[in-house]
């Protein structure tokens, strides 16, 4: 959905270059040709978890799209030990959380570190919160970016099709897209399970309530308040955008504008997630002039003239973690 048209183009363009499927699920460490500073050099590695429809890279080194466009290489150039992870593009919070947990354990083993800093975008917020709930002793901080922490009206809207017949057709299309996203990363499409209905239920208001009962750390106790800043030895942060349409040059902004009409009943939003749903722990800022894709510097870094630079925001957040000794 979020990356549908772009993914389709990249998949078609790279179909001849994606060779044998690689079944490795290891996280990928960001690389830089040079290190310019230690500004973002945190004590512990920073592990990133993508959201719905997400990936590490679609395509090849020479022609491809990174989910966290330009963000991780910039962190590496500024001294950070940053890792991108991959989980099922569409599945439940628990399935994706377990997949991320495995990769976090891999990062800990590979780096010899005691802890990691976790950053999750969109449904990735649930994934990092899941890991924090399972192994808090190995998590220094959790940051959710436009996290669907209290559910999304968009998921509620989609679930209204359940039982109409349309849900089966939609599920088939989405599950096929999920497999295609995995394949476009050079992986066996069957190496990650796909379940679009489980994904929608996880992102719904009811799904969020159930998840929060199991993993309550950082969730505000009021409708749009602040959560606890620290729990179980973990520092908790969040930030989000609140502007669906920011650039006439970005095709995705038109989609975000349309989807915001559904999400808008919950107030300010980024096109898919209400601001109040995104609040978690210490809210760094909830009014960046970003939509849901701008938050990960997509598509390809195009943003509004007056929008903040996402690459800079992540770099500054890494420095924030550094200053906290994390």
Q: What is the mean pLDDT of residues 215-231?
A: 96
What's this model's pTM, rounded to 2 decimal places?
A: 0.89
- Spatial contact of 181 and 92, defined as CB atoms under 8 Å apart: no
- The predicted structure's pLDDT at residue 172: 77
| Alpha carbons 285 and 295: distance in angstroms, whole number | 12
Expressed in percent and rounded to 5, the helix, strand and coil fractions of the chain are 40, 15, 45
| Alpha carbons 71 and 231: distance in angstroms, whole number | 27
For 209, residues 6+ apart whose C-beta sits below 8 A from its C-beta are 150, 151
50 in catalytic set: no
Query: What phi and psi values does residue 137 have, to the nearest 5 degrees?
Result: -65, -15
292 in catalytic set: yes
Assess whether pLDDT exceeds 60 at residue 15. no
- Identify the active-site residue in 50, 69, 138, 292: 292
- pLDDT > 70 in the chain, percent: 90
- Identify the active-site residue in 66, 74, 250, 270: 270
pLDDT in tens, 176-191: 777 888 888 887 877 7
Confidence band, pLDDT 50/70/90 cuts, at residue 10: very low
Q: What is the mean pLDDT of residues 119-145?
A: 98
| Domain CATH number, residue 86 | 3.40.50.1820
For 195, residues 6+ apart whose C-beta sits below 8 A from its C-beta are 88, 90, 91, 92, 95, 175
DSSP, collapsed to helix, strand or coil, labels residue 274 as: strand
| Alpha carbons 146 and 124: distance in angstroms, whole number | 9
- Identify the active-site residue in 69, 88, 92, 122: 122
Assess whether pLDDT exceeds 80 at residue 102. yes
270 in catalytic set: yes
Residue 34 is classified by DSSP as -
Assess whether pLDDT exceeds 90 at residue 167. no
Best CA proximity match to 292, nearest among 309, 279, 275, 312: 275
Q: How many domains does the chain have?
A: 1
Query: What phi and psi values does residue 78 have, to the nearest 5 degrees?
Result: -105, 25
What one-character-per-residue DSSP string does 88-146 give?
Answer: -SS--HHHHHHHHHHHHHHHHHHH--S-EEEEEETTHHHHHHHHHHH-GGGEEEEEEES
Count helices and strands (H / E) in the chain: 11, 10
Which residue range forms the structural domain that includes residue 137?
4-323
| Alpha carbons 326 and 318: distance in angstroms, whole number | 9
pLDDT in tens, 104-122: 999 999 999 999 999 999 9
Task: Give the position of tokens 């709930």.
Answer: 133
């Amino acid at each position: 959905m979020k990356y549908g048209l772009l993914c389709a183009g990249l998949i078609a363009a790279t179909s001849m270059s994606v060779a044998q499927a690689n079944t490795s699920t290891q996280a990928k460490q960001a690389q830089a040709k040079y290190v310019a500073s230690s500004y973002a050099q945190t004590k512990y590695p920073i592990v990133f978890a993508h959201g719905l429809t997400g990936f590490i890279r679609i395509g090849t080194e020479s022609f491809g799209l990174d989910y966290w466009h330009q963000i991780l290489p910039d962190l590496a150039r500024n001294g950070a030990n940053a890792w991108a992870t991959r989980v099922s593009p569409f599945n439940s919070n628990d399935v994706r959380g377990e997949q991320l947990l495995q990769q976090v354990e891999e990062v800990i083993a590979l780096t010899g570190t005691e802890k990691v800093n976790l950053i999750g975008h969109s449904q990735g917020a649930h994934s990092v919160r899941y890991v924090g709930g399972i192994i808090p002793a190995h998590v220094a901080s959790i940051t959710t970016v436009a996290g669907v922490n209290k559910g999304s009206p968009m998921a509620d809207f989609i679930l209204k099709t359940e039982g109409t017949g349309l849900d089966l057709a939609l599920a088939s299309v989405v599950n096929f897209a999920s497999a295609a996203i995995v394949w476009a990363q050079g992986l066996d499409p069957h190496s990650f399970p796909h379940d679009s209905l489980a994904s929608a239920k996880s992102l719904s208001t009811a799904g969020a309530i159930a998840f929060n009962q199991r993993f309550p750390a950082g969730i505000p106790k009021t409708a749009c308040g602040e959560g606890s800043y620290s729990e179980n030895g973990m520092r908790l942060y969040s930030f989000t955008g609140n502007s669906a349409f920011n650039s006439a040059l970005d095709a995705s902004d038109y989609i975000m504008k349309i989807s915001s009409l559904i999400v808008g009943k919950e107030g300010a939003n980024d096109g898919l997630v209400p601001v109040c749903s995104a609040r978690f722990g210490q809210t760094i800022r909830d009014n960046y002039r970003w939509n849901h894709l701008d938050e990960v510097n997509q598509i390809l870094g195009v943003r509004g003239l007056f929008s903040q630079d996402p690459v800079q925001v992540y770099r500054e957040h890494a420095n924030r973690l550094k200053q906290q000794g994390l």
